[in-house]
Amino acid sequence: MNTIILAAGKGTRMKNLTKYNPKPMLKVNGKCILEHTLDNLPDEIDKIYIIIGYLGDKIKDYFGDNFNGKKIIYIEEKENYARGTAAMMELVKGIVFGKMLVLMGDDLYSKSDLEKMTKVSDWAVLAQKVNHPENVGVLKFDNDNHVIDIIERPKEYVSNFANTGAYLIDERFFNYPLFKLENGEYGLPQTIINASKDIPIKIIKARFWHSNNKASDLKKAEKMLSLKRKIV
């Protein structure tokens, strides 16, 4: 099985921390964020596609073409990260087939959660229960735990399960038009939701997920790990 890791963004909210390093290369407990993710990939993954952009050579130089026996292929893009996550996925169209695990290069995931995702027969979205759903993109799902919508920063309660940016999809994704957001970018989760009328999308409830958007998030991650909340 393949994994696609989106690691091309500039990480501007990290300010000076990303002046000389891409956000996935920022360190948490002595190890860069992306390395945590690669360590936690399921055994089923045998090929890693990393989409790089801003300071992408830093990622290539650090990891090379292999990680723990898994082949790494880099796909460089120069414009699509500014057009959104769905546009970045267009770079693997016609290259990657079958099931693919899609992850954000600057988030921390649990290996057991990612392993659960690879066992799903159809598509899946990883969701984390949160205390403040009004601040994130939340998932709406039916009684069979199939995702039917995603609402960004809902003004009214929808659910308390946040979209973590981890998806199990396949090449049928490319049969659907990219969903254009109000800001002009093309959204990956919204494009995936477009397929829900044809393809069951299972919600997988996460044990652990941590999003790193700003410097204070790195400090929170450090604290979590120092308290021995393992990413397993």
Dump pLDDT digits (tens) for 35-87: 999 999 999 999 999 999 999 999 999 999 999 999 999 999 876 556 889 99
Which pLDDT score is estimated for 230? 53
Q: Output 197 or 168, whichever has higher pLDDT.
A: 168
Q: Average pLDDT over the chain, rounded to whole?
A: 92
HSE at residue 180, side-chain half, CA atoms within 13 A, is 2
* Structural domain contains residue 183: yes
* Structural domain contains residue 206: yes
Listed residue (14, 224, 7) closest to 128, CA to CA:
224
Percent of the chain residues topping a pLDDT of 90: 79
* Structural domain contains residue 135: no
Which pLDDT score is estimated for 231? 56
Alpha helices, DSSP H, located in the chain: 33-39, 56-63, 85-89, 111-118, 188-194, 215-226
Which pLDDT score is estimated for 225? 73
Contact 55, 12 (CB under 8 A): no
Which pLDDT score is estimated for 10? 83
Alpha carbon distance 29, 3 (integer Å): 24
Mean pLDDT of 186-210: 93
In tens, the pLDDT along 120-158 reads: 888 999 999 999 999 899 999 999 999 999 999 999 999
Confidence of residue 111 (pLDDT cuts 50, 70, 90): very high
Q: What is the CATH number of the domain that holds 178?
A: 3.90.550.10
First to last CA, the chain: 20
* Structural domain contains residue 153: no
In eight-state DSSP terms, residue 151 is E
Domain count of the fold of the chain: 1
Characterize the bridge pairing of strands 70-76 and 66-67: antiparallel
Which pLDDT score is estimated for 121? 82
Mean pLDDT of 201-227: 89
What residues are paired with 230 via a beta bridge?
none
* Structural domain contains residue 144: no
* Structural domain contains residue 45: yes
* Structural domain contains residue 151: no
The secondary structure of 25-60 as a DSSP string is GSEETTEEHHHHHHHT--TT--EEEEEE-TTHHHHH
Q: How many other CB atoms sit within 10 Å of the CB of residue 38?
A: 20
Which pLDDT score is estimated for 226? 72
Residue 71: both structure tokens together? 């082949």
Which pLDDT score is estimated for 206? 94
Tell me: pLDDT of 169 over 90.
Answer: yes
The parent domain of residue 33 ranges over: 2-129+165-226
Alpha carbon distance 5, 3 (integer Å): 6
